[in-house]
Amino acid sequence: MIAISILQTILTNILKGIYEPFGFAILLAVFFMFFYLFAKATSWKRAVKIWLEVFRKSAEFRKMFLFAFYVALMLFRTLLNRSIWSNPLSNVMGGWGLRGDDGKFSTEAIENVFLFIPFILLLFWTFSEKLWRRKKVLHMMAAALGISFGTSLGIEFLQLLLCLGTFQLADLFYNTLGGVLGGALYVAGMKGKEAWKKAHLEKEKGKESE
C-alpha cells in the first residue's frame, strides 16, 4: 500500500508538472520556431543583429514589443502559471470586496483593476494611428470597454475549461473597469497632447506676427 501511494504521488506530481506549464511551453516553442525559421534562412548572428537593429530604429517595433511583453506577463499571471483547481466554479460570486472568504485582507480586486489599465494603454498606444485618427472619444471608450470585457471573458472561460483558477464575475467586472480606466487615461493624454501642440503653434504664430 505504501509503495502504491508513493507511486501515485510521483505520477500525480509528474502529470501536474507537465499540465500546468503546458500552455506556456507550447507558446514558447511556437515563437521560438518562428525565430528559428528566420535564423535558418539567414544565420543566427545576422538574425540577432537584424532584430536589435530594427528594435533600435523602429518606434513601431518597440511599441509592439512592449505590448507583447505585457500581454505575456498578463497571460502568465492569469493562465500560464496557475495551479490546477478541482472546481473552477466553486466561488463564482466571490472576490468583490477587500476581504477573502477566510476574512483576511485581500488586494485581488484592486490588482484585477490595475492588471488591465496598462493592457489597454499599451494597446491604444501601439495602434494609435489606426485608433486615434479614425475614432472619436466615445468610440474609443466603447472600444476600451469591449476589448477589455472580451479579453477578460476569454481568460475566465479558459480558466474554467482548463481548470486553471476560478471563474469569478468579480474578476470580469474589475478587469473591464481597469480597461475603461486605461482607455480614459489614454484619451486624456492624447487630448492633453493635442491641446499642448495647439497652444505651442499659436505661440509660435504670435511670435512670427510680432
Exposure string of 10-36, with b = 16+ CB inside 10 Å and e = fewer, is eeeeeeeeeebeebeeeeeeeeeeeee
User: How confident is the model at residue 117, as a pLDDT?
Assistant: 96
pLDDT block averages, 10 residues each, the chain of length 210: 76 69 79 85 87 92 93 86 72 71 76 94 87 74 94 90 82 95 93 84 70
User: How confident is the model at residue 163, as a pLDDT?
Assistant: 78
User: How confident is the model at residue 32, as a pLDDT?
Assistant: 86
pTM confidence score: 0.80
d(CA 75, CA 26): 13
43: Cα within 13 Å, side-chain hemisphere: 3
Phi, psi of 199 (to 5 degrees): -65, -40
Amino acid symbol at 68: A
210: Cα within 13 Å, side-chain hemisphere: 6
46: CB partners within 8 A, 6+ apart? 39
Query: Nine-digit cell at 85?
Result: 483547481
Phi, psi of 84 (to 5 degrees): -70, 135
